[in-house]
Amino acid sequence: MQESNPTSPFLYGINPEVVDFFRKSASEVSKLLGHNSGNILFVRAVYEHTNPCFIADWDEDISCIQMQSKTCIIPSANFLGPHADMGFMNSRIKNFDGQILSIGLGSQSDNSSRPLAIPAGTRDWLEIISTKCKPNTHNIAVRGSSTLKDLDAIGMAGNAVVTGCPSNFLSDNPRLGESIASKLPHIFERVCVASGHYKWDYLKSIEQDLLKLASETGGFYVMQSPSEMIALGLNKLHDLDASAQEEIRHFCYPESSSDEFDKLVKRIFKVYLNVSDWMLDMSKHSLVIGARIHGVMAGIQAGIPGLCIAHDPRTIELCQEMNIPYLTREQVASGLDKSKVAHALDIDWSAYDRRRALLLERYYSFLASNGVTPSRRLVRLKAQLCGQQMPS
């Protein structure tokens, strides 16, 4: 980590890497990951793009550290919706004498019905952030147009701009989509699965098909959430209740015996605690597929084809905003075979590159207008990506 510098921003949230996991329980690791390992992907992206001087934990009152930096960046996730009340943070940020940026903010709900129920504490959180903004700038970068509409419904859209997810800019390849398109003929050589939540019964049959495909091709089955599945991926079976392990077995591999399941867990179940290891392993696969958008994004940024099973409005929003191939839960309800996967991936991947260029222009402008100096890596990617092809 860098030393404090009043002219540099700091991040307010989780660290993009968990160290010494072997000294921690699965639940402790899960907490450090923000209860979903996908979080480290976009936090790492924000960290790389903004060169923060340090990371402050959410337990800290940032008014006490404002002499170290005058710009607070909150790498945000699906904070908008009835499932999350951000009010716990309000007393820790309201007295911060500087600007606050929220990057990657998104909505989440079980269905697409609107208006979205947003708790009073989260509305107050948005109000506080809106007051800590430079004049005539946006200080909230949202994941997609649906989230922007949800903010507009409560009168908060004026401070927001759509930039997609920062993880979209992890790869340095300006022709990432074109490179991925060249690998489509070999997508089933080694398949990685971004596993779903074992409580998602509506995806159970699809999950079983995907696990079989990963196992047959020597691919990994990657856990992101919840802590019970993280425990399996870390081989911390002593942290896992026997009933939960049995429930997970029935979710993804019901025909197996307990011994067979244990052997499969040790062979292909994975959890990533830093982005470098994650993307390295993804680069050794030919395809990543599953219901976790950031698990799919890890593969795409590593340069392999990725297909998302978009099972909720949040995931659909992200896929549509960034031109990521996806199938809805309705489209896979009748089953998922190789021909359906291949057809879904047969898109114009150069359109992904063009959309990436547009979103990068917005993201770069968002940072610069707020006085945040984009990293050299982001400057270089912008010059290469936006210079060669602007959106049509």
Confidence of residue 65 (pLDDT cuts 50, 70, 90): confident
Report DSSP state, residue 55: E
Evaluate if residue 387 carries a pLDDT over 80. Answer: no
Closest C-alpha to 80, from 147, 165, 127, 14 = 147
Tell me how many helices (H) and strands (E) the chain has: 16, 12
pLDDT for 4 beyond 80: no
**pLDDT at residue 389 above 50?**
no
Confidence of residue 53 (pLDDT cuts 50, 70, 90): very high
Among candidate residues 347, 350, 353, 340, the one with its CA nearest the CA of residue 188: 340
Give domain limits for the chain. 10-170+355-388, 176-347
Residue ranges with strand state E in 164-263: 191-194, 221-222
Taking the C-alpha atoms of residue 45 and residue 20, their distance in angstroms, rounded to an integer, is 22
Residue 115: per-residue pLDDT:
84
The residue ranking higher by pLDDT, 390 or 163, is 163
Furthest C-alpha separation in the chain: 62
Cβ 311 vs Cβ 196: under 8 Å: yes
Confidence of residue 190 (pLDDT cuts 50, 70, 90): very high
Q: At what angle do helices 145-153 and 313-322 cross, to 10 degrees?
A: 120
How much is the average pLDDT of 318-343?
95
pLDDT of 154 over the 70 cut = yes
**For the chain, what is the mean pLDDT?**
93
Condensed to tens digits (0 to 9), the pLDDT of residues 196-208 reads: 999 999 999 999 9
Asked if the model's pLDDT at residue 249 lies above 60, the reply is: yes
What's the Rg (C-alpha) of the chain?
A: 21
269-270, strands of its sheet edge to edge: 269-270, 221-222, 191-194, 287-290, 306-310, 326-328
pLDDT digits (tens, 9 = 90+) for 343-352: 999 999 999 9
pLDDT at 5: 54
CATH topology assigned to domain 176-347: Rossmann fold (3.40.50)
14-27: average pLDDT:
94
Residue 390: pLDDT over 60: no
Confidence grade of residue 6 (pLDDT, cut at 50, 70, 90)? low
Arithmetic mean of pLDDT, 101-130: 90
